Amino acid sequence: MADEVIKAGARTLPEVLAEVDHVLRTFYNVERKDIAEQLFKALELIEVERPTVMFRAVEIFAKTKLDFVDCILVAYHELENVEVFSFDKKLNKQLKQED
C-alpha cells in the first residue's frame, strides 16, 4: 500500500518528518544514524516543501545531538539566511558554527 501512495505522488510536511524522528527515538529507541538513513530514503521518494533545506536538516541531524526541529532551523538559517532566535544553548552554538 505504501508503494502505491508513493507512486501516486506522495507529499509530506517537515512537521511529519520531525514527528517520525520523535516517535522512532522516544518510543522505539531507534538510533539517530538509522533514523537519518531512513529520512534520507524518504526524502528521495516523497515530495516535501523546501527539499534542499530538509536534506540539509537530515545531514545536520546525523552529525549532531540536536532535535530534528532544531536541525531544520539551522538548515533554514544556513541556506535561506533565516534569522533564528532561541534560548536553547545547543541550538545557538550550532547556529554560530554555521555563520
Q: What is the mean pLDDT of each run of 10 residues along the chain (99 residues)?
A: 75 94 96 96 93 97 96 97 95 87
Beta carbons of 48 and 56 less than 8 angstroms apart: no
Domain boundaries, the chain: 2-98
Beta carbons of 68 and 21 less than 8 angstroms apart: yes
The pTM (predicted TM-score) of the whole model is 0.90
pLDDT of residue 36: 97
pLDDT of residue 80: 96
Beta carbons of 54 and 20 less than 8 angstroms apart: no
